[in-house]
Structure 1
């Protein structure tokens, strides 16, 4: 799949979510409730003002899709504004996201989804297209300079895994 440029129409949604996990679940629930098409991008954004939280954004090629979403979200009491909160959203919903399950080559990841590039932490080199990625069914690329980039890290067996762990251990969990 040829990665798209960031969609021209975007809205930001302040839901009051305080964790990425909460924001992810809410974003998926809203997308299902609003019956958003698969080509819509749904991202999370960390807001670090006097009230730290995780905002959402929805971006699409078609303004009517977002106009309808804005109307319904506003009607549900959410604070909705024009544009994304920032340019570095963490994508939860993106074209091809549902096809990124199991173990795939990086070439398959790039061909099946809107992800434009995969980087490996700790190395400046591009990974080989035949490198395997164990998705853990949790792929969260981020927008960087207008490109959707997945950060990955080496794992046991010479494979890669997405940098973001689907089940992170809470800080001080053993205390």
Structure 2
């Protein structure tokens, strides 16, 4: 059964290319945007590596519930610097090169992307169980590196380190885990080298 947190349905995706170079910068950008936007619940905000002849860096996508997409678009146009590229369906705003990066970001989810903000992410602090992680967040699949077919008991503990970044894989929000001490698990991506700023914790 799909819970209200899970990523079913089609959501308009806004691509943003603000010239961020690293995942850390893109994480900070996402948190700054979500702090300022009147964004509805249920937003998926992802980072995307950008590798083109013109630029190497990261871009961001915001997948929002359909009725709210226009309002979020207008807010972004009004708050971001003029050299930022934005893309939403056939709409574009900003310099051509930045718009090109934004279009790539907008086209990525749910085939790919590293999720920074997603429904239920606020629950992922401290230690949680596998059952809670799957039931209370939009994460739909857990994989253990080195043991992709492992069946995880619902009570298995996951040490979140307050930094859980699942990825879209073929339309499924998937979290990669690694074994940790005491028979527990932990996210593959650790807080360093891409820690989130403490004022967004």
Question: Common fold, TM-score beyond 0.5?
Answer: yes
Instruction: Kindly state the Cα deviation for residue 92 of structure 1 after the two structures are TM-superposed.
Output: 0.6
Instruction: Kindly state the Cα deviation for residue 85 of structure 1 after the two structures are TM-superposed.
Output: 4.1
Alignment of 1:74-153 (within 5 A): 74-75=77-78, 76=80, 77=82, 78-82=84-88, 84-86=106-108, 87-124=111-148, 125-153=150-178
Out of 1, 4, 8, the position equivalent to 1:5 is 8
Decide whether the 8 Å contact of 1:118 with 1:126 is kept in 2. Answer: no
- For 2:63, the equivalent position in structure 1 comes to 59
TM-score (norm 2): 0.78
Q: Distance in 1 between matches of 2:119 and 2:171?
A: 15
Q: Distance in 1 between matches of 2:45 and 2:86?
A: 14
Decide whether the 8 Å contact of 2:13 with 2:107 is kept in 1. Answer: no
Decide whether the 8 Å contact of 1:91 with 1:142 is kept in 2. Answer: yes
Listed as ranges, the gaps of 5+ residues in structure 1 are 170-175
Q: Which one has a larger percent helix, Structure 1 or Structure 2?
A: 2
1:57-79 superposed Cα distances (whole Å, 9 cap, x missing partner): 0112224x222222222232221
Is 1:32 the equivalent of 2:35?
Answer: yes
TM-score (norm 1): 0.89
Listed as ranges, the gaps of 5+ residues in structure 2 are 90-105, 195-201
Q: Distance in 2 between matches of 1:72 and 1:35?
A: 8
CA spacing shift, 1:6–1:162, aligned 2, 3 Å: farther
